[in-house]
Amino acid sequence: MKHLILGGARSGKSRYAESLSLQEHSPNSNYWYVATATPRQDSEMLSRIEQHKNSRDKKWQLVEEPTNLAEAIARYNTPQDCILIDCLTLWLTNCLLENNWQEQKENFLDAISQTKASIYCVSNEVGSGIVPLGELSRQFVDEAGALHQVLAQQCDKVTLVVAGMPLALKQEK
């Protein structure tokens, strides 16, 4: 099962993904929380990361992977594995800054299509705003939108979270 969970900043998408994945899987499952955030010398971001860690259920085993999501998915590739990736837009930013986006994206999409694990992908919906002024910002919005469209086709479920409320966009068939 693959589930894409989209929402704006502070929409409740991470909390929803964590709760849903724990509800949908056996207590005996292996729970992997793949975090893509990096503090990058930013104390405010470091504080957010710590707050996220402290609020999670203790069943989650943390895997910090800022760029190579395909490798993380390949490591935990059994039907007993439940992988929550948070968040794809931070991952996109990391890859754009390291100039390896196209390669990482292709590897990730391939890994998603081949995995036996259940995957929950959390990402920021950025397509509802205005077109940004800067070139890198426009590239980010374009790539995030393209990634979401391709991933939505591969996923069994797609949910948009607004104000903590989930809205099903695509359900399993």
CATH of the domain at 122: 3.40.50.300
- More confident position, 173 or 56: 56
Give how many domains the chain has, as a whole number.
1
Residue 37's domain comprises: 2-170
Q: What is the predicted pLDDT for the residue at 44?
A: 79
Per-residue pLDDT reduced to its tens digit, 65-92: 999 999 999 999 999 999 999 999 999 9
Q: What is the pLDDT of the chain when averaged over all its residues?
A: 92
Backbone angles phi, psi at 67, to 5 degrees: -135, -40
Per-residue pLDDT reduced to its tens digit, 17-58: 999 999 999 989 999 999 998 776 678 777 777 777 777 778
Q: How far is the C-alpha of 121 from the C-alpha of 55, rounded, in Å?
A: 18
Q: How many other C-beta atoms can be found within 10 angstroms of the C-beta atom of residue 106? A: 11
Residue 52 appears among annotated catalytic residues:
yes
The pTM assigned to this predicted structure is 0.92
Percent over 90 (pLDDT), the chain: 77
Question: Catalytic: which of 3, 25, 52, 148?
Answer: 52
